[in-house]
Structure 1
């Protein structure tokens, strides 16, 4: 039985964002992931962009707190993304990870505004 906390991504359960990024790393398409997870393609792309930012920060040796700040996500999610990166950082998934790192545009400012807020 799924709890309210798990459904709303509250508490110590694994984030649905990590699950979605994992599906993408397994070479599923956006449409398949959207159908399976009931998330919009724009949300999926946002999670992937955040994951790419976390990988970039992780490669630079930033702490979880620094990474979370730079990527504009929670420290908990940053830690989950780093763990996911460690799990998938093998040759089989190298191309997929590199695509995410490249598309996260590391030369652009990493911090992002909240939904509807102007970006600085």
Structure 2
């Protein structure tokens, strides 16, 4: 995946759809949750604005380029931030428990592939 703004936006939309399906929640709710939990943004609108700009002050935005055939360094970035993502998720959502495998699947990545590539 390239780092073109349109590609990143489309990838984030796919991530939100996967999260919506995984948690059986409305798409709008999953977009807001994804924005906060994965990207550390206050809202989906803020996430989209950041992605449309060429500023990557928020290093989590590079995860917008993460997909099943992504370079290993992106997978390692996700792994490095995994505890923060899980913590933000648990802070935001009380009734739904999510684990590392669930987070990895939001990016369309098989958990076994993820584990083998982060070693």
Which bin holds the TM-score, normalised by the shorter protein? 0.3 to 0.5
Choose 1 or 2 for highest CA Rg: 1
Report the TM-score when normalising by structure 1: 0.33
How does the TM-score come out when normalised to structure 2? 0.33
Higher relative helix content: 2
